[in-house]
Structure 1
Amino acid sequence: MEDMWGKIGETAGKIYHLLEGGEKSLSQIEKILRKEGYNSNIVKMAIGWLAREDKIFVLKDDKKWVIKLK
């Protein structure tokens, strides 16, 4: 069984760097990282990590989730 803590942290770092270029929707983040071999479940866990660390805003409008840096 693989220890996922490191993978989640690595993914959080990738997401943080993506967001330095501006806000992204959850689906945009998943699409970008899927091309690099990242699993969408890990992406969501990493977003949770960043939110818990108070690094990002996670916003919901009528149709999508929007993630941006604080």
Structure 2
Amino acid sequence: MEDMWGKIGETAGRVYHLLEEGEKSLSNIERSLRKEGYNTNIVKMAIGWLAREDKIFVLKDGNKWIIKLK
């Protein structure tokens, strides 16, 4: 069994760097990272990690979730 905390932390770092380019929708983040081999469930956990650390805003815009850095 792989180290889940390590994988979530690594993915959180990747999400953070992706958001440095500007705000993104959740589906855009998932699509971008899926192309790099990241699991979408881990991506969601990583976003939760960043939200818990108060590093990001998570906003609902109609049917879309928008994620951006604080």
The TM-score normalised by the length of structure 2 is: 0.97
Return the letter of the residue paired with 2:32.
I
- Residue 46 of structure 1 is matched in structure 2 by 46
Identity %: 86
Q: Mind listing any 5+ residue stretches in structure 2 that lack a counterpart?
A: none
Q: Structure 1 unaligned segments of length 5 or more: list them.
A: none
Q: Cα deviations across residues 1-33 of structure 1 (Å, max 9, x unaligned)? A: 222100000000000000000000000000000
Runs of 4+ with >6 A deviation: none
Q: Please name the residue that 2:37 is paired with.
A: 37
Corresponding residue of 1:14: 14
C-alpha separation between the residues in 2 aligned to 1:65 and 1:3? 28
Superposed CA RMSD: 0.5
Aligned length in residues: 70
Q: Compute the displacement of 1:63 (Å).
A: 1.4
